[in-house]
Chains A and B, each alone.
Chain A
């Protein structure tokens, strides 16, 4: 294994690291990516066995604390009503995501101007639009052009056919039609026909625990094969401890532990962080020096501040007829009827409904037991029959606004298997989010009942719903109020870049992966255009 200096060192092989590596490859620079996890073998994914539900709650759980794999690091999230979800491996969070793939709206970049809250982004929708298009081409996005709730796709011809509605989305669409509310086939990072050598979706129904078919666009099978074929080196089981700073104030490499647990130094001319909204502040805060005693690139004091999730509301309806069960991808349709601010609702900003189709038999039982619909004992089976394959519903993805007291810090006691201090989460649900969640539950319940549901169950906030980790190294023009500039370069360290969700200024009310990847492509494009004076 070579320890020769590299031109570009990317930390993290997930959604953004993969896109960044791929986009820089044509510079002919020497590019290395260090990833703490492994390559995935799709034939090991849970949907290859009858025990798929049990495995999806264990070794494929979205919670790193529950998985507890050697490739994971622990997270102290006891002081948060929402626990952290992630995945550590080539592909990162895209291994376990649902593939729900919305874009930001133009208004999402202007919340201060429009609503007087939080801050505007230093870039706008038009800046990212061409990078959304590139990302869609590599990813393979199913969808339907013409959604009145969204700007037109830059190139609707690249869209793959939409995902099937099935009985579940049909029932929900009927309910939303009855209310006169918007719904539309979701843009989804799922190949509905062969795309770039990947096979089409066959409705395995286990997107959230890895796609054995390879239809879901996790970056281990989208960007990475292309990047590696063109010369990028990807080293797995390499956990970075800290970024090293030279006497000139520039990052000069990283200290990491290799697959044997040996400490290594990797020199680099440029360092790119792609380790998500918890991993990135953790690494910066662990990289202390005389020049940066409070953590690297932290002169603003904002590294780890302004943590945003998307508080989720989960709303499920029980229908009198049999629906799809767990067959088919969870992603199917969305509604953005309540996306923009309407002050009569009692809160600012808004949310997206992401419909989730149905669930498997064990998840049905767990939901029924948790919500008092399944009694223990004699009547168990009678009540179970009323739930079996009859449940469908949605989650509301609520825009979270940045608040400085929501933080990622270093836990004083908890460490990972290499002894590196682990992240600690302190998060409080805001009053605005609480009102938004309640509103979302109420409207979804109305729509489900209008579609024929005879019973509705809900949970808000969804305790396990910390999938989207944003805001902890925010982007901005003013070095006093942000960590990176408008093209992702740290204000304090001119060869250090961040391309993951931690640079988000606001969260919008949509799943962030498509925008994270568009940002990674945009930032690396900016780097390519400035190669001659990248550090000025």
Chain B
């Protein structure tokens, strides 16, 4: 269940397919490490809830532009090898539309409780319980304590 009603939908089905493809292409599932893919339905919904229309449209426009450069056709018509080539192009791109999209995917992925649990992180807000930090080994500081003052003295 999500809190978006149908009339709020800011992307069309083709854009949704494209976003799902690339979320999974950036962060795929890994059974060995028990990690979800970023196009897991719940994470994908978070991505759509988080990304504003400009971000989705900008990314999709950029992908279609690159698809056109690679194969002269829309992304949906690319074969697997062409999609892979396009993915590598995006991975090495500094285009703002791509960087924004990647940032949204990453933000949404690493706040999913299942992802945090798989990383052995507590799936809870930091506040109010806080965290423990290992006790300090102040013996490390002994060599520095032996140094005489070395800040520059100034006649005032």
Contacts and interface: CB of A to CB of B under 8 A. Distances in A.
A428 interface: no
B135 to A, nearest CB: 7
B55 to A, nearest CB: 12
B140 interface: yes
Contact of B151 (A47, A105, A366): A105
Contacts of A182: 144, 147, 150
Contact of B136 (A126, A164, A206, A375): A164
B28 A378 contact: yes
Interface string B76-106: 0000000000010011000000000011001
B127 A377 contact: no
A202 to B, nearest CB: 3
Contact of B152 (A106, A164, A360): A106
B28 A206 contact: no
Interface stretch (A9-17, A48-56, A456-464): A48-56
A125 B125 contact: no
A146 interface: yes
A212 B131 CA distance: 13
Main SS class of interface, B: loop
A109 B154 contact: yes
A328 B133 contact: yes
Interface residues of A, number: 69
A212 B128 contact: yes
B80 to A, nearest CB: 13
A187 interface: no
A204 B102 CA distance: 26
Contact of A328 (B33, B50, B131): B131
Interface in A371-412: 375-378, 380-382, 385, 388
Contact of B111 (A54, A369, A375, A377): A54
Interface range for B: 35 or more
Contacts of B50: 54
B126 A206 contact: yes
Interface stretch (A76-84, A166-174, A251-259, A430-438): A166-174
Given A126-B156, A213-B130, A361-B110, A165 B136 contact: yes
A327 B133 contact: yes
Nearest to A205: B126
Contacts of A205: 126, 131
B149 interface: yes
Interface string A201-218: 011111000001100000
A362 B107 CA distance: 6
A174 B140 CA distance: 7
Interface of B: 25-28, 30, 33, 35, 50, 87, 90-91, 102-103, 106-111, 113, 115-116, 119, 121, 123-138, 140-141, 143-145, 147-154, 156
Given A149-B151, A166-B134, 19 more contacts: A47-B126, A48-B128, A52-B126, A54-B107, A125-B156, A150-B151, A164-B136, A170-B134, A180-B143, A182-B147, A203-B130, A203-B131, A205-B126, A212-B126, A366-B106, A376-B91, A378-B28, A380-B30, A382-B30
27 contacts: A49-B125, A50-B113, A53-B107, A106-B156, A124-B154, A126-B156, A148-B145, A148-B150, A162-B136, A164-B134, A165-B134, A165-B138, A166-B136, A180-B143, A202-B128, A203-B131, A205-B131, A324-B134, A328-B131, A361-B119, A362-B111, A365-B106, A366-B106, A369-B106, A376-B87, A377-B26, A388-B119
